[in-house]
Amino acid sequence: MEKLLAYLDEERGRRNKLATALGINPGAISQWERVPAERLGDISRFTGIPLEELRPDIFAKAERGTNELPADASTAGEAA
């Protein structure tokens, strides 16, 4: 989440642009503890931040050879 927040803070209006692209309120982004798993692809494409940097908790396991997501990965950090 730190990488995403740093990206959003680099340029005025980025949070609003991302929220518009996702179809959510800009305030929802501030409420996330982690990037919601179902939004990873869209956020990665929009920001250019690699998936594994947005959610290393998910992708570190994939690198170790398991295809299983953590039980809470699909709902973690949602506040949209």
- Is residue 69 in a domain? no
Indicate if the pLDDT at residue 11 is higher than 80.
Answer: yes
- Is residue 24 in a domain? yes
CATH number at residue 44: 1.10.260.40
- Is residue 41 in a domain? yes
- Is residue 71 in a domain? no
Structurally, the chain folds into a number of domains equal to 1
Residue 60: what pLDDT?
Answer: 76
Q: If we measure between CA atoms, which residue out of 13, 17, 54 comes closest to residue 32?
A: 54
- Is residue 35 in a domain? yes
- Is residue 54 in a domain? yes
- Domain assignment of residue 15, given as a range: 2-63
Q: What pTM was computed for the model?
A: 0.72
pLDDT tens digits, 20-71: 999 999 999 999 999 999 999 999 999 999 999 999 999 876 555 555 555 5
Q: Are 79 and 27 in contact (CB under 8 A)?
A: no
DSSP single-letter state for residue 78: -
Cα dihedral 16, 54, 35, 7, rounded to 10, equals: -20
